[in-house]
Amino acid sequence: MPDAALTLGELAGQVRSKNAGPFWITMDVLFRSEPDYTFVTTSGVLSPQAIGRLYDVDPATVKYFELRGILAVKISFPRPVTAGSFGDRDLHGGQQFVPLAALRLPAPPGHHQDASR
């Protein structure tokens, strides 16, 4: 569990995005430890609704998986613009993880403002 309020990208070992075929984008959050994984997956910050707000997509189209066995969360949703079409900004979808990584996590319970990492 983190000592202070962090972003998801600061806490996780890796946050990454990539196309899953030209019509879907998929994102993986890979955690370093079981407590970090549990802290995030029980905090309520990650959900299809949260992803819908973050990426301006319909939450009903968001696939969300919690993978305790490998301490990962996987999120997939249809690409608003098909890969490589006119107007696509990211052919391989490799930079779209940034808003997810910037997601601010709640302060852990018992955290004090002067706590240092």
Partner 1 sequence: MSTQPTSEPGVGVIFPSGMLGGGFTAESIKRGIAMGATAIAIDGGSTDSGPYYLGAGVAKTAASAVERDLRILLSAAREAQIPLIVGSCGTAGTDTGVDWVAEIAVRIAAEDRLSFRMARVYSELDPATVIAAIEAGRVRSLPPLGDLDPDTVRSCSHVVALMGHDPIVAALEAGAEVVLAGRATDTSMVAAVALMHGLPAGPTWHAAKTVECGGQCTTNPTAGGVHVRIDGTGFTVTPLSPDAACTPTSVAAHMLYENADPFRLLEPTGTLDTSAATYTAIDERTVRVEGSGFLLSSHPTAKLEGARLGGYETISLVGIRDPHILASLETWLRYLLSVLEDRVRATLDLDPQHYELALQCYGANAVLGPLEDSTGDAREIGLLFKVRAPSQQTATAIARTANPLLLHLPLPGMDHLPSFAFATSPAEIERGPSYEFVLNHVLDLERGTDLFRIDLSEVANA
Q: Which residues bind partner 1 (CB under 8 A)?
A: 18-24, 26, 28, 30, 54-56, 61, 63, 65, 67, 69-70, 72, 74, 76, 78, 82-87, 89-92, 95-96, 98-99, 102
Q: CA 49 → CA 35, 54, 77, 112, distances in Å?
A: 24, 9, 12, 29
Question: Of 55 and 107, which has the nearer Cβ to partner 1?
Answer: 55
CB of 38 to partner 1, least distance (A): 18
List Cβ neighbours of 27 (8 Å cut-off, separation of 6 or more). 15, 16, 17, 74, 75, 76, 96, 97, 100
Nearer to partner 1, 1 or 83 (CB): 83
55 vs 99: CA distance, rounded Å: 8
Of 3 and 92, nearer to partner 1 (C-beta) is 92
